[in-house]
Structure formats: C-alpha cells, structure tokens
Amino acid sequence: MLPDGYPDTYYARTATSVAEHPALSGETRADVCVIGGGFTGLAAALNLAEQGASVVLLEAERIGYGASGRCGGLVGSGQRKDVLETEALFGYERSRALWDLAEDAKDEIRRRVAAHDIDCDLADGQLVGVHKRSYLGHAAELAAVLEECYDYPGCRALSAGETRERVATRDFLEGFWDPGALTLHPLNFALGLARAAEAAGVRIHERSRVTGYTQATLAEVSTVEGKVTADAVVLGCNGYLGKLEKRVAGTIMPINNFMVATEPLGKRRALELIDGFYGVHDSRFIVNYFRLSPDYRLLFGGGENYRAGFPKDIRGFVRPYVLKLFPQLSDVGIDYAWGGTLSITVNRLPHFGRLEPNLWFAQGYSGHGISTASFAGKLIAEAIGGDRSRFDLMAGLPSQRFPGGTLLRYPGMVLGMLYYALKDRIG
C-alpha cells in the first residue's frame, strides 16, 4: 500500500511503519527549530535532542519525502571526490582529515541502524564499473593509495573478466571494488531516524511548510498555521530549498534524477545479473547506479533533467539507460518509476556554513548525500553544542556561486552537462 503523501516509489511501497506527525498549529518554543525532514534535518534533530536540546522539526511534506526517501541507496566511501582528487586540491593532511570524517559518517550509519534497530536492508560493498579506456588504471592507483596512505585496505581493481563475472554487462572495461561501502533502503533509514528522534524528544511536524523566518537572536520560524520561536535554526532543505533562503540558493543547482524498479527477476536471474546486494555505479559523469532489492528487482538510476518538473514518462526516460548496460533485460517490465531532486555545487564539494550566529545549513552533497547529509546533521549539532572542530573542516571547503545566480544558472549548467555527457561517450 502507498502511504499517504508519498510519491509512488518502490521505497514508499516497501516502507516499514510510516508514522503520521501532526502539522504545526499555533505557537511553540524550542531551543532549535530544524527545517526539513531528510537525512540532514533528521540527523541534526536526533543529535541535538540527545545533547539535551528541545527540538522542533518542520517538514513541508512527509518524513523522507525529498531526495532522502527516493535515492539510490548507495553509501559510498570518502567524499564525493576521491582521495586522489582531494589530495591534489588540498594536500595530504586535509585530504586525510576529510577521508577520516567520511569514514566516521559511514560508521555513524552502521551505529544508528544497530542502536535503533532500523530495518533498512543494510548491506556491504560497492563496485565501480569503468566505462572508458582513458580511465583504465585509475582503480589500481586508487586502491594502492587508499591502502598505503589512508589505512583503508581491501579495495582492489578488478580485471574486465572479474568485473563481468560479478556484473553481467559488457559496458565495464574494469572495476573498482570497495568492500567497506554500504547500501540501504533510504526511506526506511529516514523513517528509522525519525522514530529515534521522536523517542529522544524531538517534536516532529509534517505538512508544515516554513514560509519564512526572522533573523533576530531569537528566531521566529513561520508556517501557514503556526510559529516556532527558537534560539537556533537549522536549514536542511537541500534541492527542495526553493526561495526560502536566497543567500545560499545561489551556491547550489537543483537537478532531477530518475530511478526505476523492475518487476521481480527471480533469484537466479537477478544473481546472474549482479552477484550480491552491493551497490554498483559506472564512471560516467551522468552516472548510472544500480543494485538488487531483497525481492530480486533491479533498482536502477539513470538520466537527469535540469528544469522544474519530471518527464511525463519516467519509465520510458530511464529504460534506455537500463538497456544500454543490460540489453538482456529487454523482456523485463518496470513496476515503479520516479524522480527526485538533489542539489549539486560548482565544485561538487558540499556546502556547510552559518549564515547568522544562530542559522546553520548544509547542502549541495552532489549525489553523495546519504552519508554526508546524515553526518552534516551530527556536525551541526556538535557545533551548536559548542564543538565546531569537525563542522569547520567541512565549512572550510571552498564554495562558489553558480554563474548567473539563481535566475541564469540553468543555461550555463545545461551546456556544461552536455559537454560532460559528450566526454562520457568519447573513449
């Protein structure tokens, strides 16, 4: 059954115990008001409540309604850029600190799942399929650097033959195997975090869209029917931010990404396609990502658009991406197809910061948001609690506004994406 107020996704159809939270009505007081019920907001609220703060969380729709409840479920290691890139940008020390933080972020997911008994199909492993000749050799170099310089053994390059034994596509020329990455059911993880937050004392209000807030020492956060007065505000709206906070809207670009869930393939056929429940993505700039569900469907994400609104026929839009990698699935039906909005930044590094002494935000995870967003919430909670060390490491990453600002960023973006999509096709 599809729970009320959620898009028709495989995740919503397989959600375990969706709780209803009342809309905010009237006036209330809190130490912290968190805006947004995705991984950023939920983790901030949960950690703040555990630190002893009184917390109100306002979500415009339902818990996990945004990217967090619709995403691919692949939890990659490290930051969105690999350590070879972060080291070239920032040097070893800072790159190492960013890597260690990302490892803490994965550990935090494992810890939360265990501590709150969250039933979200957590599984290990990720395989990256290299689609382009000019990228050959990168996997071996990355695995060696991770082992030698980042104390992260276990990754390895896979030959074309080994890769094809694991994932039945002729598209991959070699592979990179990371046994320490994770996959999960993202909506069930979000719902589990919400349950834990509520148990810790967070007052959650769904269907409570924030229409604006004042920026005085004591902030007043307004919805259509209510108001929260709070000492601090956390902004966790990411790709769904809209015009709520113009000062940070210009550093992110909301983009739409699409997913399908095939009909169940049956155990034998599914495991012939991918030999386990780990995540897989390719090396394309506009990435294809996929994994098996516990009921042996292929969950596949591919294709993007850069305007408000999704294609009318999302099944038809994503299907060619599936068949390019897996032509053997031409007879397989698609049961669910959906889109979601995420936000990217110019340099694909996340954007954390503080706009006022009492207004905190994190956004722009650029497709690497499950671990980064849920850790962002924890780091914001630490910072509000007085320890800014780990928050500042992330907030110190360079951020840029998109050329053209919120009005004109799209034409430049579309040209840029077309350029990289073309590069994807050239060997």
- Residues lying near ligand FAD in the complex (CB under 6 A) are found at 35-41, 58-61, 65-68, 70-75, 209-210, 236-241, 244, 257, 259, 289, 301, 340-342, 365, 367-370, 373
Could you tell me if 42 and 377 are in contact, meaning their C-beta atoms sit under 8 angstroms apart? yes
Q: How far is the CB of 198 from ligand FAD (least distance, A)?
A: 16
Bridge partner list, 282: 129
| Nearer of residues 106 and 138 to ligand FAD, judged by Cβ | 106
Q: How far is the CB of 314 from ligand FAD (least distance, A)?
A: 11
| Nearer of residues 140 and 250 to ligand FAD, judged by Cβ | 250
What is the C-alpha to C-alpha distance for residues 132 and 118, in angstroms, rounded to an integer?
38
> What secondary structure does DSSP assign to 329-347, as a single string?
GTT--EEEEEEEEEEE-TT
| Nearer of residues 209 and 315 to ligand FAD, judged by Cβ | 209
> What secondary structure does DSSP assign to 42-65, as a single string?
HHHHHHHHHTT--EEEE-SSSTT-
What is the C-alpha to C-alpha distance for residues 88 and 101, in angstroms, rounded to an integer?
18
- Nearest residue to ligand FAD, by Cβ distance, number only: 369
| Nearer of residues 68 and 262 to ligand FAD, judged by Cβ | 68
What is the C-alpha to C-alpha distance for residues 212 and 234, in angstroms, rounded to an integer?
13
Q: How far is the CB of 255 from ligand FAD (least distance, A)?
A: 8
CA neighbor of 121 nearest in space, from 184, 190, 192: 184
Q: What is the dihedral of CA 55, 61, 64, 70, to 10 degrees?
A: -160
Could you tell me if 99 and 141 are in contact, meaning their C-beta atoms sit under 8 angstroms apart? no
Could you tell me if 254 and 342 are in contact, meaning their C-beta atoms sit under 8 angstroms apart? yes
| Nearer of residues 15 and 71 to ligand FAD, judged by Cβ | 71
Q: How far is the CB of 159 from ligand FAD (least distance, A)?
A: 26
Task: State phi, psi for 305 to the nearest 5 degrees.
Answer: -135, 165
Query: What is the DSSP secondary structure assignment for residue 297, as one 8-state letter?
Result: P
Q: How far is the CB of 126 from ligand FAD (least distance, A)?
A: 10
Could you tell me if 46 and 37 are in contact, meaning their C-beta atoms sit under 8 angstroms apart? no
Q: How far is the CB of 387 from ligand FAD (least distance, A)?
A: 22
| Nearer of residues 130 and 373 to ligand FAD, judged by Cβ | 373
Q: How far is the CB of 178 from ligand FAD (least distance, A)?
A: 13
